[in-house]
Amino acid sequence: MAKTKTAYFCQSCGYESAKWLGKCPVCSQWNTFVEEIIEKSANVPTWKSASGTQRLNKPNRLDEIRSAQEERMPTGNAELDRVLGGGLVAGSVTLIGGEPGIGKSTLMLQLALNIHHAKVLYISGEESEQQIKMRAERITQTTNTNCYILTETSTQNIFKQIEQLEPNVVIIDSIQTLHSSHIESTPGSVSQVRECTAELLKFAKETSTPVFLIGHITKDGAIAGPKILEHMVDTVLQFEGDRHHIYRILRSIKNRFGAAAELGIYAMHGNGLREVSNPSEILLSQREEELSGITIGATLEGARPMLIETQALVSNSAYGTPQRSATGFDTRRMNMLLAVLEKRCGFRLSIKDVFLNIAGGIKVEDPAIDLAIIVAIISSHEDMPVSSKICFAAEVGLSGEIRAVNRIEQRIAEAEKLGFDKIFISSYNVKGFDKNKYKIQLVTVAKIEEVFAALFG
């Protein structure tokens, strides 16, 4: 009888070691190594092509390789198609991660129900057929006869059903619940997740079948399992949002077939997720009167321009140490902007409490909203409102200069479409395009002092 072979794996990055280590030499995490059985069976591979023979590849010269445009399958979901780069690519493997209850299973079930022109197999290892049926009836009124449900966790049984059904799209919910009999460890372990993903990846590439994998996340927000899981798949999507808001954001982290900075926005309702085609209108609050500390910034998420509302509150500090808090924005960058205001403009903000909030529950990393943030801070500090018909799109430098931002024409066009009267941009952004073609008034500034003089006198 063969001896059982074991190894130690880092639960954080998937590094393999022959012995237990206190600290991982790759990711430098402590106490992350667990022992797992890695002895594989001597049976045939889990997924075998129809011919049963192994294809031998040979090297080809680059100029001899024919370039082909990949054909994409529309999913019937405009926001998902945008994030994927135009639709599903044959043989692609997509990993979707997100917090529990954020709507990953709902999104994938809606995808399975919306693709009427293809046969979809939805495999669930977490819910029963009755639970999936109840959710399907809640989110749609029509029945998709091409949607098949399978509740199974064994990859061997899953591939048997796939060979009989021959689906066009496969959805796995979730990859942490699957287990392969070739690996003698519990489902969700590092070796099981890696082995099951490798089997599904081989199936997808050999049959040109798109595969979706739903993945759990850790308490730190990273996708659970080895880091190699994200390297193996073609696309990694992050489904995020706040439980107290109805909006959900589908963000592309990695995409081999498209841009890796696209964004899709959904609204969670009782009957499922609904696409938000114009996010600017929902991210801007409808105010009956002008309020201090509120400005509008023009930002870009991928190729999509959005106008978002920035809210600031500056008050006297009740304690010895002033508080600094930012929701949806980097606190360190906010502290940098506060230092610029104090050093270059003379505002005494070091003794004030400053709170910043990006409305709508979204997170923004675009530096183009710097100008909107500092104007909101001064508006709250001086208690002087800024007109709701004015928006801002510029970066602020450490010396107080107003810096240019990329793709300014898209930001201007979005502001004009939503009916804004003025937009403040950098003087260095006006080179190369005609200002007269816009109906909106372009206010060009080079220093923070010019902005304050134009707004507050």
Q: How far is CA 238 from the centre of its chain?
A: 4
Per-residue tokens: 419? 């009916």
Residue of 452, 395, 393, 454 lying closest to 424 (CA atoms): 393
pLDDT grade, residue 38 (50/70/90)? low
Residue of 106, 99, 139, 100 lying closest to 122 (CA atoms): 106
Tens-digit pLDDT profile for residues 104-130:
999 999 999 988 888 999 999 989 999
Which residues, including other chains, have CB under 8 Å from residue 448's CB and lie 6 or more apart? Answer: 340, 341, 344, 345, 374, 396, 400, 401, 402
Tens-digit pLDDT profile for residues 272-299:
888 888 777 667 766 667 889 999 999 9
Q: What is the pLDDT of residue 391?
A: 93
Residue ranges of the alpha helices (H) in 102-171?
A: 104-114, 129-139, 155-165
Per CATH, which fold does 282-456 belong to? Ribosomal Protein S5; domain 2 (3.30.230)
Which residues are annotated binding-site positions for ATP? 98-105
Q: What is the pLDDT of residue 54?
A: 53
Q: Is the pLDDT of residue 373 over 90?
A: yes
Tens-digit pLDDT profile for residues 328-344:
899 999 999 999 999 88
Q: Cβ distance 108 to 96 under 8 Å?
A: yes
Q: What is the pLDDT of residue 48?
A: 58
Parallel, antiparallel, or unpaired: how do β-strands 235-241 and 93-98 relate?
A: parallel
- Lowest-confidence region among 12-16, 285-289, 446-450: 285-289
Tens-digit pLDDT profile for residues 139-168:
876 667 889 999 999 999 999 999 999 999
Q: Is the pLDDT of residue 375 over 90?
A: yes
Q: What is the pLDDT of residue 50?
A: 47
Q: Is the pLDDT of residue 98 over 70?
A: yes
d(Cα 257, Cα 85) in Å, to the nearest integer? 7
Q: Is 151 helix (H, G, I), strand (E, B) or coil?
A: strand
Q: Cβ distance 423 to 390 under 8 Å?
A: yes
Residues in the chain: 457
Residue of 61, 65, 8 lying closest to 32 (CA atoms): 8
pLDDT grade, residue 44 (50/70/90)? very low
Q: Is the pLDDT of residue 209 over 90?
A: yes
Q: Is the pLDDT of residue 28 over 90?
A: no
Q: Which residues pair with 235 in a beta bridge?
A: 94, 255
Q: Is the pLDDT of residue 12 over 80?
A: no
Q: Cβ distance 335 to 292 under 8 Å?
A: no
Can you tell me the mean pLDDT for 241-245?
Answer: 74
Q: What is the pLDDT of residue 42?
A: 47
Q: What is the pLDDT of residue 4?
A: 62
Which residue has better confidence, 117 or 375? Answer: 375
Residue of 104, 226, 222, 123 lying closest to 178 (CA atoms): 123
**Residue ranges covered by each domain of the chain:** 6-37, 74-277, 282-456
Which residues, including other chains, have CB under 8 Å from residue 428's CB and lie 6 or more apart? Answer: 403, 404, 446
Identify the sign of the CA torsion 288, 289, 292, 297.
positive
Can you tell me the mean pLDDT for 65-71?
Answer: 74
pLDDT grade, residue 241 (50/70/90)? confident
Can you tell me the mean pLDDT for 64-89?
Answer: 85
Q: What is the pLDDT of residue 93?
A: 95
Which residues are annotated binding-site positions? 98-105
Most confident range (mean pLDDT) of 31-45, 282-296, 368-382, 432-446 is 368-382
Which residues, including other chains, have CB under 8 Å from residue 222's CB and lie 6 or more apart? Answer: none
Superfamily name with CATH number, domain 74-277: P-loop containing nucleotide triphosphate hydrolases (3.40.50.300)
Q: Cβ distance 311 to 352 under 8 Å?
A: no
d(Cα 272, Cα 404) in Å, to the nearest integer? 40
